[in-house]
A and B are shown apart, each in its own frame.
Chain A
Amino acid sequence: MLKQRSFLIETLTALGLILAPFVLPHLGFAPNTVNRILVWGLFGLGFDILFGFTGLLSFGQSAFYGTGGFVAAYLLTRAGFPNVMLALLIGMIAAAVVGYLVGLIALRRTGIYFAMITVAIAEVFFFVEFNPLSGWTGGENGLPGVPTPSFNLGFTTVHFTTGWSLYQFLALCYFVGVVIALRIVRSPVGAILSAIRDNPLRATAVGHNIHGYKLAAFVIAAAYAGFAGGLLGVLQAFMPPDAFTFDTSGQLVMQTAIGGRGTLFGPLVGAAVWLFLQDFLQAAVGLGAAWKLVLGIVFVLLVCFLRRGIVGGLEDLYRKIVGKRSKPSEVSPPAVASSVGAANQPKAAQASTAAPISARARESATRIGPILQATGLTKRYGGLLANSDIDFTVLHGELRGIIGPNGAGKSTFFKMLTCEVPPTSGTIVFEGRDITGTSVTNVCQLGLTKSYQVNQLFTGLTVRENIVIAALAKLRGKFRLDLFRSLDSIPGLNAQVARTLELVNLAARPDTPVSELAYGEKRRLEIGLALATSPSLLLLDEPLAGMSPQERVETVKLLKSISRDRTMIIIDHDMDALFELAERVTVLQEGRVLIEGTPDEIKKSTAVQEAYLGGVQGVLDA
């Protein structure tokens, strides 16, 4: 059932590509226009993985399009290389290598910086193409005379020339491109890319090396661009220097946004709209040079009102009509990633309720001695001393509470323990290993993570997908390029996810988008994300914050059951709950440890009472 579903898109794509030559001419599309659309569509497949799925908006894709195109065209024209396909592949590899090097620089920054850097780097390629390398690239003249492909099949030679003949070759390339892209977005890597788009901070915190994955997405996009660039030369018998211009990048971005980002087919649709309007407005309407103004206005309106472009809009419309909002539609590859698991999830969940969350959790429960030891931990922000000389030890299997008035430095303390911020001085030893100064990702991989005070969820994904992201970190390590592996084939993933959903009591709503969850459910999912990484030490930053009394009771129960298998440290302001849960409690005040002891000892401590509300009696007993 599941397999059928996932092959549906491939089948529909193949069907569409086969039918296109019979249908499109009647809609006014010439074969050359269709071929161009396919090249843009293929270029866009990689770009959509980068932009739509990973959230990295690059305005510099022309650099890779041009690189792949010119390497292939150079081989075919000047170097006298006979094999078109091989030249295209070499061009693609060259573009991917260049993409890797550029990515190393561009991905040093994110967001707007990233966009600016990609623009600038693409410009470098443009100028380099025109000046130092013009002997190879022909400079402004480009490289004319690129041949078309032919294949010797032994008994006969297939030669693709122009028009619909070349279409067959391009359609085949596009189909293979789609199949590969679908495999990638359905793979664990694809799932993590979406997580990076939605919440890079949390993707890092659950133990993924997001820099590595971003770089992977960048290289994938560059490879697609390189291959498409090569095809452009084949299509036109001419490799134009225009491939390197900023306009090319801009057009790709606009086409993707018009068609719909994060849909894989968006760029193809966007290119169809673009090229159709270009012809139509210029030829039929007679707008002449004003055609680009009309396209510009259309683009601005789409960005304003139809965020997900044409394909995304149709998808939403389809869901509205069918009324199955949580079910993924058939043409939506991003949703497919969820459907993979969704389809057989209930069964898996039943089968695995009894399964342990991980070997490590069990193991840790049997250990004795300290799991975490912080010595002399100090954090200074400029002149402000957030934490000062904190010594702190937690034993295996313990459930420790931390309280303290606002501004006592509790959250900073947690951030240092999970290595989100480096301490100014002091050391942290986790399970006998000095983790001071390592990254939050590595620490999570070692088995130490936290749930956040303010929800840090992957808001664009469903409940189950959220948990999958976290579980993947544990099962696959922090970085692994299993681009073609199906999520289902990862041993233990479904069991792990099901068990986590059970634990945080969300097993009934696995396919609900995060945006539709109630607040209490989101808090539980927040804890679930941390749990799914199978931590041996789990830090919880105000897990009860903002909950109704009813929700608090449930959550306390939940925390108790979680604590059976692991060591936990909880910060909270709800002292009743904390005293009920914790075996020992540490009180922080003004960045120092005020006192540490059993709940009873804390309750009786006058120092603590003074710290809170200046010693008003009975507050803590109330």
Chain B
Amino acid sequence: MPAYAEDHPAIGTYPAGSSGPSVFIGISVPRTGTYAVQGEDELKGYELAVEHINSGHELIKKISPKTKKGVLGKEVKYGVADSAAKPNEAVQAQQRFISENKAIVITGGTSSAVAVALNKLAQREKVLFVCGISGSNDTTGKDCVRYGFRQNFYGQTAAAAISPVLIKTFGKNKKAAYLTPDYTYGHTVTKSMQDQLAEAGWTTVTNQVSPLGAPDFSSYLLNVANSGADVLINVNWGHDAVLSIQQAKQFGVLDKMKLVVPYQVPFLARETGGLMQGVYAATDYWWSIEDKYPLAKMFNEAFEKKYNYKPEWGAANAYISFAHWARMVEEAGTFYPPDVIKTYEKEEVIPSLVGDVHYRKEDHQCVRPVIIVKGKEQKDMKGKEDYYDIVEIVPGAGLMQKPDAFGCNLGDYT
């Protein structure tokens, strides 16, 4: 038991959580509510990662070469709680996992409001938080913490990646209408898009801010329809995105203006039934990149074998954020959180499903590429899950803002 022999002071759930033969991970994903579909996909990614870690799967070994079976030889166990995409539920569940199960790492997300709340919880409890899905600038921006890490990109990055494509496609000096969900994710993505597009003379004619889980978008869409916009930029996520796009079609909005989804939503193409054809979006992962990335191919195969569908980016992010964590612990040779954090902060270039990446030490954000996709026409689809063409894979380094641009202050190690 090498991890146990070290002389570290107790902190958070260390060493209580890692002194036995197994370690515990607290997972909170939305299984009910607006983001439930995406939450289930994300959960499958976590489950597959844990399975692979425990069995010492080939894919994990590619990402974390020192892994044999488990993490530092300890079996990984986990608990799952439904967050319903509500910060309150997530915080409750994770507090329970930390105090009852001595969780050594917590994860979850799918809503940036949840991610931000868990960030603060992680910092207070001194337990690592690796977030699965969170697209707000704040998560590693003004609400960043020492104990939180994010693998996926976010609003500002998505905007920086997709804007040149939009300007190239639609031209300069266009009028844009926005549909924005009313929380940290929506506000920051919309703001980033507006800033990026303004450079090409684009203006915002209306920004319709709707609550999470709105049952009807007709009022918002009528305002959009009568705004005279050329492009509709829909920032909504989960079921809200599905519903707002379907209704936009019904109100003739999609015939009047072009739809853009700056941040692709898992299963959106399937659920909107063809409405994503020709639509541009930025995404963390799309399965057809497997031609370029062998690790992605391995992941797709393992995932599809187990769950009978192609993984979406939620599952991919969940998987890789666990795999990275496992790597960091193996590299650190201990579960002692400050040491694990410092290993992340080495800024070592490590493999992921979308090529080599690294975590920035200043804000704990993973610097990784953004994939721009465009919805395929029905006739071009080669299979029932072949929804998107890969337009471009944009390297992350040039996209991201400077680490301190959003006011990140990580806080203490102990």
Q: List A residues at the B interface (Cβ < 8 Å).
A: 30-33, 36, 130-131, 134, 139-142, 144-145, 162-163, 236-238, 240-243, 279, 282-283, 288-289
Contact = CB atoms under 8 A, between A and B. Distances in A.
A468 to B, nearest CB: 44
B87 A141 contact: yes
Contacts of B120: 144-145, 237-238
Given A36-B92, A242-B87, A142 B117 contact: yes
16 contacts: A31-B99, A32-B96, A32-B99, A33-B96, A134-B182, A140-B182, A144-B116, A144-B119, A162-B99, A162-B125, A236-B92, A237-B121, A240-B91, A242-B86, A289-B31, A289-B32
Contact of B113 (A33, A142, A237): A142
Interface of B: 31-32, 79-82, 86-89, 91-92, 95-96, 99-100, 112-113, 116-117, 119-121, 124-125, 143, 182-184, 211-212
B125 to A, nearest CB: 7
Interface of A is mostly: helix
A289 B32 CA distance: 7
A216 B81 CA distance: 40
B12 to A, nearest CB: 11
Contacts, number: 82
Contacts of A289: 31-32, 82
Contacts of B212: 140
Given A32-B95, A141-B113, A282 B121 contact: no
A134 B186 CA distance: 14
A17 B56 CA distance: 48
Contact of B87 (A32, A162, A238): A238
A238 B211 contact: no
A30 B99 CA distance: 7
Given A242-B88, A288-B82, A289-B31, A236 B183 contact: no
Contacts of B86: 240, 242
A458 B31 CA distance: 49
B96 A238 contact: no
A33 B93 CA distance: 10
A130 B211 contact: yes
A145 B95 CA distance: 15
B117 A140 contact: no
A282 B116 contact: no
Contacts of B99: 30-32, 162-163
B17 to A, nearest CB: 14
B96 A279 contact: yes
Contacts of B87: 141-142, 238, 240-242
A30 B100 contact: yes
A411 B67 CA distance: 91
A209 to B, nearest CB: 40
A236 B88 contact: yes
Contacts of A130: 182, 211
Contacts of A33: 96
B91 A236 contact: yes
B243 to A, nearest CB: 18
Contacts of B80: 288
Contacts of B32: 289
Given A30-B96, A32-B96, A279-B96, A140 B183 contact: yes
B88 A243 contact: yes
A56 to B, nearest CB: 27
A238 B184 contact: no
Contacts of A30: 96, 99-100
Contact of A140 (B79, B82, B119, B184): B184
A174 B100 CA distance: 23
Given A32-B99, A141-B183, A237 B124 contact: yes
Contacts of B100: 30, 32
A240 B211 CA distance: 15
Given A130-B211, A237-B124, 7 more contacts: A33-B96, A144-B117, A236-B121, A238-B121, A241-B113, A242-B86, A282-B82
